Amino acid sequence: MKYDLLHLAPLVALAHLLGMLAACHAILHTRTSQGAVAWAVSLVAMPYLTLVPYLFLGRSRFTGYDDVPHAGRETLRWQQHQDEWSAHTSTFGQPAADLGHSLVRSLTRLAGMPFLSGNSVRTLVNGEATFSAIFEAIAEARRYIIVQFFIVRDDALGAMLKDALLARAAEGVRVYFLYDSIGSFDLPHSYIAALRAGGVETHPFSTRRFVNRFQLNFRNHRKIVVVDGKRGFVGGLNVGVEYLGAKPPLSPWRDTHIEVRGPAVAAIQVIFSEDWHWATRQQLSFEPSAPDDVSGPMHCLVMASGPADQQETGSLFLVEAISAARERIWLTTPYLVPDEAVFAALRLAVLRGVDVRILIPCRRDHRVVFEASKLYAFDSVCAGVRIFRYQPGFLHQKVILIDSVAAAIGSANLDNRSLRLNFEIMVLTVDRHFAAEVETMLLHDFSQALEINSDEYRKAPGWRRMAMHLARLFAPLL
């Protein structure tokens, strides 16, 4: 026994030494002070339990991505839609009149892209409408198709996508397929091999440097499909039968995608091109598309965010959107774990007399996130925010409605992972007719939801309240 203890002591000392070194690393490299404190304390106090999780989840700054495509970013924009990349043609005009010049200026600078006019956008409610439109567009492709998803399953829907892409590739259409290596971890090699054998250029999005190889952070959560530069699809749906509502107990699945036509499609292509550049070290070149007959009067801003951003793009975008609201700000999100800046903006909006509503699920797909969301919902209700739980099934859509003027739809959730750790994309549309369409959609969702009050927390058993508080300690990672 004494012999064993003598051998155990150096291991304990080594674990604490490594824990202190890891804590120093966390203090230097974690994006938020809350995250830095959480990691540092746990690594020093419990290195045996936290060293391995820190190896996988600790890093919140992503190096390398910005260095590779940055030099070609302006070139990509200039090549793909030369006339529209001038801020003078898009910063002033209808968006500024509706939202305010200062907000438009800040958002264009934050996004690194202008508001582009001459677009049409339509909502695609739930999986059947979304994938019917995507497959229709793919079938009509003549020049190229780009496809990017966080999750791709090898199930009935995944097989349909694979067959559709292979059919167009066989006709000489260029097809580019990008998937996240962690989100699609169970995608079999045979699926990828079949695509590559059929002429589809297929690559995973994954971290490349050795220090990042063990990371579960920095996932590419974007969902993008573009066909011939004319039709672009962005939203919350991945590729799998569960997104069609085929997997209880979460079904029916509630989600929203949008189809974009017009110059904003080129901006969506730029985001995909940057991701492709990181994954493959290849620069894509798309010839300009002919004007689309169905383009419309809408102004759109494509807002891409991620852990490589110099600023907190995701959080700042939400804060600006909430701060712009004068009448209402309605949000839908599957995960309610806002950072302090966003939560402060929501509270201030309530104090301004703004109708602040958030629609969240009543069913859970991630236990820890769901418990943390309950506590944030309680804090929000106490601050005057109206919280609704969607009843029919799992709510996964990511939608923001600002007054009767603007709406944003895309892939970003209202949690720290989307705000700081994942690559996301949102499309902000400034158009009163489209905002009215989104309002009608959300009113229907709210009609199927139950508004909660503080009793959800106060009347919960003591062990459940403790679970909520413990879950919130992990908020920087959720």
CA dihedral 130, 133, 135, 136 (to 10 degrees): 170
Among the options 154, 292, 309, 403, which is catalytic?
403
Residue 459 annotated among the catalytic residues of the structure: no
154 classed as catalytic: no
Q: Which residue has the tokens 């923001």?
A: 400
- Alpha-carbon gap, residue 366 to 203, rounded angstroms: 28
Q: Give the whole-angstrom CA distance, residue 233 versus residue 123.
A: 10
Helices and strands counted in the chain (H then E) = 17, 17
- Catalytic residue selected from 228, 309, 415, 445: 228
Beta bridge partner(s), residue 301: 428
Name the active-site residue from 398, 415, 431, 445: 398
| Cβ–Cβ under 8 Å, residues 401 and 328 | yes
Q: Which of 278, 341, 335 is nearest to 307 (CA)?
A: 278
The active-site residue, picked from 221, 230, 299, 374, is: 221
Give the CA count within 13 Å in the CB-facing half-sphere of 122.
Answer: 10
Q: Under a CB-based contact definition with an 8 Å cutoff, are residues 354 and 327 in contact?
A: yes
Active site residue 398: yes
Bridge-based pairing state of the strands 386-390 and 355-361: parallel
Q: Identify the CA nearest to 325 among candidates 364, 354, 298.
A: 354
403 is catalytic: yes
CA 301 to CA 262: how far, in whole Å?
12
Pick from 262, 255, 290, 284: nearest CA to 271: 284
Which of 396, 415, 431, 445 is the catalytic position? 396
Catalytic residue among 81, 223, 257, 277: 223
Q: Tell me whether residue 221 is one of the annotated catalytic residues.
A: yes
Catalytic residues: 221, 223, 228, 396, 398, 403
